[in-house]
């Protein structure tokens, strides 16, 4: 076995960090950003998310029909957007569709707003219908690690109105599990806590791989230590609350 030691500050980093009205973004510094697409160099995302996003665009050939509207935002940008919306559209509208600074997923670099390519596109609420090329993107996105972050009927959970244009990178297989179980990220973070590292683990499959997902609670103090199989292929993400989510890939015939 291999021993993994993480600083508890790393709770606030990773593909699965939950950022909402209750849990602010903590330590995204705006580095390792790259354009979401070459055609729109000012729309940035974290490199790992942008690379996958580009694969989806290539897969469905939608670059002439779908455009990225908003990606990474600094705290200053989010503040300006919030205040401008409040002045132009009012407090109620703004609270429904615009997160407060430090409580916006856009500050993580893992979120992107998309719109149909038109002469005029609403920056806050771009058109992204449940039909045609937009719905094709929406259906394929979970296979690549993206989810529609604010679905209809989940407003009381997410704290944000239905936003069919807003997508968040969480990574695979988490995206697929969320879609299959109809879970928001808030619900998924709680769901994974049913699978602690020292107990039953969530198991899924991809091609010839078995994928385990489980939760490790952060230890009291500055560091958390846990074990993984020798030479394991794994990814660890903080949840931005109280612990880590481990994703572990194994060959299907590999013994425990």
Active-site residues: which are they? 163
First to last CA, the chain: 11
Question: How far is Cα 103 from Cα 78, in angstroms, rounded to an integer?
Answer: 9
Cα 168-174-176 angle, rounded to 5 deg: 90
Classify burial at 5, counting beta carbons within 10 Å of its beta carbon; exposed 0-12, middle 13-18, buried 19 or more: exposed
Rounded CA Rg of the chain: 19
């Amino acid at each position: 076995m291999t021993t993994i030691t993480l600083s508890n500050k790393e709770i606030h980093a990773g593909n699965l960090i939950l950022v909402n009205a209750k849990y602010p973004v903590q330590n995204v510094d705006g580095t390792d950003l790259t354009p979401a697409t070459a055609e729109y160099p000012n729309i940035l995302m974290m490199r790992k998310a942008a690379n996958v996003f580009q694969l989806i665009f290539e897969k469905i050939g939608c670059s002439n029909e779908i455009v990225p509207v908003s990606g990474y935002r600094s705290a200053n940008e989010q503040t300006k957007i919030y205040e401008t919306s409040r002045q132009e559209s009012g407090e109620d509208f703004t609270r429904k569709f615009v997160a407060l600074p430090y409580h916006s997923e856009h500050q993580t670099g893992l979120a992107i707003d998309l719109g149909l390519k038109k002469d005029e596109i609403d920056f806050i609420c771009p058109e992204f219908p449940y039909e045609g090329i937009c719905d094709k993107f929406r259906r394929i996105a979970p296979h690549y690690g993206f989810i529609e972050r604010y679905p209809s009927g989940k407003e009381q959970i997410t704290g944000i109105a239905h936003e069919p244009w807003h997508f968040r990178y969480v990574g695979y297989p988490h995206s697929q599990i969320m879609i299959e179980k109809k879970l928001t990220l808030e619900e998924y973070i709680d769901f994974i806590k049913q699978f602690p590292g020292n107990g039953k683990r969530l198991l899924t499959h991809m091609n010839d791989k078995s994928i385990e997902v489980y939760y490790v609670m952060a230890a009291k103090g500055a560091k958390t230590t846990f074990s993984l199989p020798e030479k394991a292929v794994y990814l660890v993400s903080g949840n931005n609350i109280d612990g880590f989510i481990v994703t572990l890939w194994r060959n299907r015939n590999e013994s425990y």
